[in-house]
Structure 1
Amino acid sequence: MTKDLYQVVWIMVLITLVLFGSTARADAQSLSGLYKQVNHSVVVVHTVEKQMSQKKRDGLVSAEGLGSGVLVSADGKVLTASHVVHTADAVGVEFWNGQIIPARVIASAPEADVALLQLDMVPDEVSPAELGDSDHVEIGEEVFVIGNPYGLGRTLTAGYVSARHRPKNGSGDQTSLEMLQTDAAINMGNSGGPMFDMEGKVVGIASRILSQSGGFEGLGFVVTSNVAKRMLLEEQSFWAGLTSFLLTDELAQVFNLPQTAGLLVQQVAEGSPAAKLGLHQGQSPATVNDKNFLVGGDIILEMEGVQITGDRAFADQVHLILNQLQAGSTFDVKVYRAGQIVELSTTL
């Protein structure tokens, strides 16, 4: 190699290093700037709900829970994951400055794992995040997540959109319950937190991970912002405030049901429509055919005149009926309680 050619090569190497370093610094500054831009809209969600004690003789006890969320409106609406708040007896939303504001669940879609909270008030100098159009998010696009993993609030993780998933056996509107897969780290406590694109817009709500170890292994899933917007802000999915276990076939016979299927009530949130109905929740853990659930609660036979069945058509029908309920509407259920059929009703 001649001296002149050697000098040219070195000059090219130096230019490459300078350009690469400048790009890396620009990317880091961009991500840092975006974090500062949206951080105050991200919240920690504190919950209190009844859970089965590890000491079974103690029965149900109050337990605290943690999740994440994001403020999406100036009037105090917060998006989070349904599994974080769906059966919570009390909810508090903590902002960046440590201020905790009481909140209530106003909509929940457990099938999509998204829920909407309403704050009692909105702190000063807090701006809501902007919802992006998740239909335009492409595989390979850079994204970042802010949340509360393991209670370590305001944690940022970055990565890429790895895939887009839609249910294979959906029907009707359920086919649009899509999720984005990401390698941005998501751990316990991140649930309900926002995933942002590189414009600082919310394109997903953290839902779950696939893991063999219990920690993050590169497979995280978020519900798309368009699904959350449609189900919570446009349709206002009905929040009943209960979880249940479907009894069919052999299990229906074990519980001596007067029909082929029923919903065994598991948990009921205080102040929810389910609580106002007077539904009794499960009291004792049981295992039947390797299935774990709580027994001792009511078994729902009908909701709004629709008999419980084990097929998909029933689920879609009840979903439609419940989402049409308005304030002032009556909510009626028929339950099987201690061998008797009991009719319950409340005004929403």
Structure 2
Amino acid sequence: MAPEQQSLRYDTPARKSSITQKWLILILIVLIGLMTFELFSRKLRQSTSRIPIRADLTQSERRTIELFHESSPSVVHIRTAEFALEADQFSMNLQKTPQGSGTGFIWDRLGHIVTNFHVIQKADEATVTLADNTIWKAKLVGFLPSKDLAVLKINAPSERLKPIKVGYSADLQVGQTVLAIGNPFGLDQSLTTGIISGLGREIISATGQSIRDVIQTDASINPGNSGGPLLDSSGHLIGVNTAIYSSSHVYAGIGYAVPVDLISRFVPQLIRYGLIQIPSLNFTGLDDFVTRKLKSDKLLPQDAQGVMVRDVMPGGAADLAGLQAIRLDQSGNVILGDLIMQLDNMPITNANDLLDALEAHKVGDEVPLIVLRNNKKMKLTAKLQEWKNDR
């Protein structure tokens, strides 16, 4: 055999191996190129999604646009669904049907999402759509119906999550500018602006309990905005949009938002425990209308206002503080219980007042009480306990 043929036959496997390596290298280069192109395209889309701000806009308009771009990545769209059994002639099938939608916002990089309780109240399933249009299945972490508050959690990477900037609501002023971002009628990332129209308002929650110190605004808040953030002119969260004052549930000039100071107090507890550790005196109060009847029957002074102790839990905070419940004397006559008129300098006129006063404290706090006993005022001190539902 000629030397050239021997050489050709000997080099053939090596050449095949070389060709395979070249193809692998080429494929690797193509993959790296595609990944680089995707990253570049994503950054390009992000950078070009913001149309340059026109030079002829006012400073106020420019600032509003900037605030929207800064804050909208923190706002999410929540969609809910419920399951129902549909039976036919042969089987029963579990059907999932859309239930509603609302808004929420990112609380932290762990994936916690804050929204209204009524947004997820009747839902069996919820999904969260981030500003980058990725969709994540959410689980319920905790909720507080009395404040129309709920916390969800998604397992999204932290780099996709931009927590909202949390502000304060104690020093708000009527007339200051506010912005609301939400998803009214399912329209993603909508912005409305307005002013604070009023402070210290009171609305009724899903449980029938009042929510006090609510912010009133003329910024349009329509169905779907619920659970979204109300921001001040620096882009800080000052409230959670929760309700519109309209019999048709369509915006009619007045919207409400739960103040952020209340949200900041309860959200960490919901994240940690799944519920709120409500401080309590552990007693049962007389219904407000019965207390009013006692006044009309002149069994209480006309100027007396408060919550009357009907019975106390043995070993409870009220019992240990010396509060006296309604009881009978040796002759079988009814002796009225103590009327709690004040808790830690906060006047108590009804059961809601007492709940609000307790919510300002935590378990273990010692609080001064002023009670009316036998038509005489007296001072007591109670150490608040965790609420117990075993009485």
Shorter-chain TM-score tier = 0.5 to 0.7
Q: Deviations over 1:256-302 (max 9, x none)?
A: xxxxxxxxxxxxxxxxxxxxxxxxxxxxxxxxxxxxxxxxxxxxxxx
State the partner residue of 1:142. 177
CA 45–28 in structure 1, closer or farther in 2 if over 3 Å, else same: same
CA 111–145 in structure 1, closer or farther in 2 if over 3 Å, else same: same
CA 223–332 in structure 1, closer or farther in 2 if over 3 Å, else same: closer
Q: Deviations over 1:129-188 (max 9, x none)?
A: 11111112211110000000000110000000111135499xxxx887421000000001
What TM-score comes out, normalization by structure 2 length? 0.50
State the partner residue of 1:71. 106
Report how far residue 80 of structure 1 moved. Answer: 0.5
1:162 counterpart (197, 203, 206): 197
1:36 counterpart (52, 60, 69): 69
State the partner residue of 1:346. none
1:111 aligned counterpart, secondary structure: helix
C-alpha distance in 2 between matches for 1:235 and 1:39: 24
Count of residue pairs the alignment pairs up: 225
1:187 aligned counterpart, secondary structure: coil
C-alpha distance in 1 between matches for 2:177 and 2:81: 35
C-alpha distance in 2 between matches for 1:151 and 1:239: 30
2:73 aligned counterpart, secondary structure: helix
State the partner residue of 2:130. 95
C-alpha distance in 2 between matches for 1:214 and 1:86: 17
Asked whether the 8 Å contact 2:244–2:251 carries over to 1, the reply is yes
CA 167–214 in structure 1, closer or farther in 2 if over 3 Å, else same: closer
State the partner residue of 2:329. none
1:229 aligned counterpart, secondary structure: helix
Considering Cα pairs closer than 8 Å and 6+ residues apart, tell me whether 1 or 2 has the greater RCO.
1
Asked whether the 8 Å contact 1:193–1:206 carries over to 2, the reply is yes
C-alpha distance in 1 between matches for 2:107 and 2:155: 15
1:219 counterpart (244, 254, 265): 254
CA 49–168 in structure 1, closer or farther in 2 if over 3 Å, else same: closer
2:58 aligned counterpart, secondary structure: helix
State the partner residue of 2:81. 48
C-alpha distance in 2 between matches for 1:130 and 1:71: 10
**Mapped pair 1:184 → 2:219:** yes
Report how far residue 110 of structure 1 moved. Answer: 1.0
**Mapped pair 1:121 → 2:156:** yes
Report how far residue 98 of structure 1 moved. Answer: 1.3
2:159 aligned counterpart, secondary structure: coil
What TM-score comes out, normalization by structure 1 length? 0.56
State the partner residue of 1:273. none
Q: Deviations over 1:92-145 (max 9, x none)?
A: 110112101111121211111111111122463432111111112211110000
Q: Deviations over 1:43-65 (max 9, x none)?
A: 00111125899xxxxxx984421
State the partner residue of 1:193. 228
C-alpha distance in 1 between matches for 2:189 and 2:149: 20
- The CA RMSD over aligned residues, in Å, is 3.8
Q: Determine what percentage of the aligned residue pairs are the same residue.
A: 27
C-alpha distance in 1 between matches for 2:96 and 2:105: 29
Q: Deviations over 1:191-244 (max 9, x none)?
A: 00001111111111110101144421110001111111112224657559xxxx
C-alpha distance in 1 between matches for 2:351 and 2:265: 21
2:77 aligned counterpart, secondary structure: strand
Larger Rg: 2
C-alpha distance in 1 between matches for 2:143 and 2:134: 25
Structure 1: tracts of 5 or more residues without a match? 1-21, 54-59, 241-247, 249-310, 325-330, 335-348
CA 129–61 in structure 1, closer or farther in 2 if over 3 Å, else same: closer
C-alpha distance in 2 between matches for 1:122 and 1:108: 24
Structure 2: tracts of 5 or more residues without a match? 1-54, 87-94, 277-286, 288-349, 364-387
